[in-house]
Amino acid sequence: MHSLPFADRLCQRIQQTGSVACVGLDPRANFLPESLQPAEKGDPRQWARAFERFCIEIIDVVADKVPVVKPQAAFFEQLGPVGMQGLFNVIQHATGKGLLVIVDGKRNDIGSTAQAYAQAYLGRGSGSPWGSDALTVSPYLGSDSLEPFLQQCETVGAGIFVLVKTSNPGGGLLQDRQTENETVYQAVARLVEGFNEGRCGLFGYGPVGAVVGATYPDQLAKLRALMPRTIILIPGFGAQGGAAADVAAGFDASGLGAIVNNSRNLIFAYRRPEFSSRFGDLRWQDAVAAATDQMNQQLRQVLTD
Amino acid sequence: MHSLPFADRLCQRIQQTGSVACVGLDPRANFLPESLQPAEKGDPRQWARAFERFCIEIIDVVADKVPVVKPQAAFFEQLGPVGMQGLFNVIQHATGKGLLVIVDGKRNDIGSTAQAYAQAYLGRGSGSPWGSDALTVSPYLGSDSLEPFLQQCETVGAGIFVLVKTSNPGGGLLQDRQTENETVYQAVARLVEGFNEGRCGLFGYGPVGAVVGATYPDQLAKLRALMPRTIILIPGFGAQGGAAADVAAGFDASGLGAIVNNSRNLIFAYRRPEFSSRFGDLRWQDAVAAATDQMNQQLRQVLTD
């Protein structure tokens, strides 16, 4: 149990590390370094151990470089129950290293089922079996589906990140629809911001964050203005095409209020031409370190301009 | 691996059992019969065993009475990794008994992450680690987030149920928004129906189903008309207030095209006044049987009227 709410802990970690980067832990079987590939390719237990070791080694590399990591639940779920044990071990290792952990599960349901998800994932050291600091959540089920999460956030000092405007090309189908005076995603943004009213901490941010893709810089700027109390999680940096300049609009004047996620380009940096020649497959961890430093530097440059 | 697609297997099971009911497996700790309550209330392993035993006993009672069960992932996730092993065991037991299994996970993500969820949950006997027949899926991320699921459905003969119009009071916040000539939920319904075009099986239904709450009978009738190739999963029957007459509009002229979920009022029937006096806590399984028979009878009456 933490005395400080999630938003404050995140802002403090950002100031301590001098980084607004979030490392996405997306263990994809076909990208895993050769040295971690299991001997028995058909054995989910061996894959789960490989995923776990991969993520734990990344955590050891980035623990002092970034404030937060974001394990992607889907890749662990893909291995069945043994994969979920791996996810648990990864969360434990990350929190033990002082990192904040956002589980990317895009969960939600109605009423008491939403409460079950909230109690499952939110609140390190609070009796939550997964013990993470925050969870990504889908808004399709409306405001009453988000309230049990909000309640749990307040009880255990945790956070959620609600999908507002996603980075994929097809996201606009629902999110960009014009309704009355606003789009669907703007309506979600207003809802999210409303939840933070009267719930802001030391840095002026509340427990309910928003996911806004880096692939739409103009919308990011407008959403920053629409949600002044909301921490924005910006995915789509790197592999999905977003660049450092594109995310600048997500931050407040103090360089807070947002975190920028990068998964593939950091954790599989050894596969990028610029790093593969220097490090190769055997020193894949050094490639993670170099790519993380590079991303931090790019973001610092843009945020101090 | 099944030679028949999910929609056909479901329609066949409906005809074999003479039932359109889906039993929702929502193991809630505080409602569990006394005999199943664990000795150590703080031990998630004991709770996981209790949840598993509870669900397995229900499955044994309803296996010949209904076509399909729907375990709610959240309640298993709430117990951490040991809970997920319980979910796996429950799915295995249900498919072993000939039941179809819809995992209620309301999952989704973009691109290759959606593919990971699809491969995780869809396709009994196909190498899918959870091995269920279908999964509930959230549409907020748009059409490209649904395509990997559709692809997996076609490959392994599985199904998905996309949230269209949910049964909770707050669901309207996004879903009922008027956009251009339709509401958001109607736009999702059109998307779902479009996926089934050219993909229908022996009974005229495709792999992509829709979740439409029983609490809005008028909308259900309109959605049935808008989605003639789409199997509708109707939650909200029983505890959430929907009655047999309210769901009739979800079916086609042959009494197919929809399944009606009931969780609490069936699995915790021993707590309902009408059954508690007859069976009590010790014969809670008999209460499940009686409540399931009652629901089947109510639905048959309405569907043959």
Residues of chain A contacting residue B75, judged by C-beta atoms under 8 Å apart: 113, 116
Confidence of residue A2 (pLDDT cuts 50, 70, 90): low
Please say if the pLDDT value at position A85 is more than 70. Answer: yes
CA distance B100 to chain A (A): 19
Nearest chain B alpha carbon to A189: B174
Q: Identify the bridge partners of residue A212 per DSSP, sorted by sequence position.
A: A165
CB-based contact A144 B169, cutoff 8 Å: yes
* Residues in chain B, pLDDT under 50: 1
Query: From the candidates B31, B75, B119, B140, which should be mutated to test the interface with A, based on the most A CB atoms within 10 A?
Result: B140
| Cβ-contact B21, B296 below 8 angstroms | yes
pLDDT for the residue numbered A244: 86
Question: Of B152, B159, B264, whose CA–CA distance to B203 is shortest?
Answer: B159
Average pLDDT over residues A191-219: 95
- Residue-range definition of the domain harbouring residue A105: 6-304
- Chain B residue nearest residue A111, CA to CA: B168
| Average pLDDT over chain A, rounded to an integer | 95
pLDDT digits (tens, 9 = 90+) for A103-114: 999 999 999 999
Whether B1 maps to a domain, the answer reads no
Q: Which residues of B touch A179 (CB under 8 A)?
A: 177-179, 184
A residues 244-273 lying closer than 8 A (beta carbon) to B: none
User: Which residues are CB-neighbours of B277 under 8 A, at least 6 positions away?
Assistant: none
- Tell me whether residue A1 is in a domain: no
- Assigned domain for B297 exists: yes
| Residues within 8 A of B (CB atoms), A 275-294 only | none
**For residues B180 and B215, what is the distance between their CA atoms, to the nearest angstrom?**
25
Interface predicted TM-score (ipTM) of this complex, two decimals: 0.97
Domain count, chain A: 1
Specify the 3-state DSSP secondary structure of A161: strand
* Whether A250 contacts A224, CB under 8 Å: yes
> Given B144, B172, B187, which is nearest A177 (Cβ)?
B187
Q: Do residues A209 and A202 make contact, with C-beta atoms less than 8 angstroms apart? A: no
pLDDT tens for each residue of A226-279: 999 999 999 988 777 778 888 999 999 999 999 999 999 999 999 999 999 999
Best interface-test mutation with A: which of B77, B136, B144 has the largest number of A CBs within 10 A? Answer: B77
Nearest to A142 among B88, B130, B173 (CB): B173
Interface of A with B in 147-186 (CB under 8 A): 163, 166-175, 177-180, 184
Residue in chain B lying closest to A87 (CA) = B81
Q: What's the pLDDT tens digit per position in B134-167?
A: 999 999 999 999 999 999 999 999 999 999 999 8
Token readout for A213 is 């893709």
pLDDT at A100: 98
Print the SS3 string covering chain B: CCCCCHHHHHHHHHHHHCCCEEEEECCCHHHCCHHHCCCCCCCHHHHHHHHHHHHHHHHHHHCCCCCEEEEEHHHHHCCCHHHHHHHHHHHHHHHHCCCEEEEEEEECCCHHHHHHHHHHHECCCCCCCCCECEEEECCCCCHHHHHHHHHHHHHHCCEEEEEEECCCHHHHHHHCCEECCEEHHHHHHHHHHHHHCCCCCCCCCCCEEEEECCCCHHHHHHHHHHCCCCCEEECCECCCCECHHHHHHHCCCCCCCEEEEECHHHHCHHHCHHHHCCCCCCCHHHHHHHHHHHHHHHHHHHHHC
Our answer to whether residue A165 is catalytic in this structure is no
So what's the pLDDT on residue B161?
A: 98
Q: What is the spatial order of strands in the sheet that B178-179 belongs to?
A: A182-183, A178-179, B178-179, B182-183
What was the pLDDT predicted at A126? Answer: 82
Report the residue of chain A nearest B121, measured CA to CA: A78
User: Who among B77, B111, B163 is closest to A140 (CB)?
Assistant: B163
Task: State how far residue A105 is from chain B, nearest Cα, in angstroms.
Answer: 8
Nearest-by-CA chain B residue for A114? B74
The answer as to whether B174 is a domain residue is yes
Kindly list the catalytic residues of B.
106
A138 CB within 8 Å of a chain B CB: yes
| CATH, residue B210 | 3.20.20.70
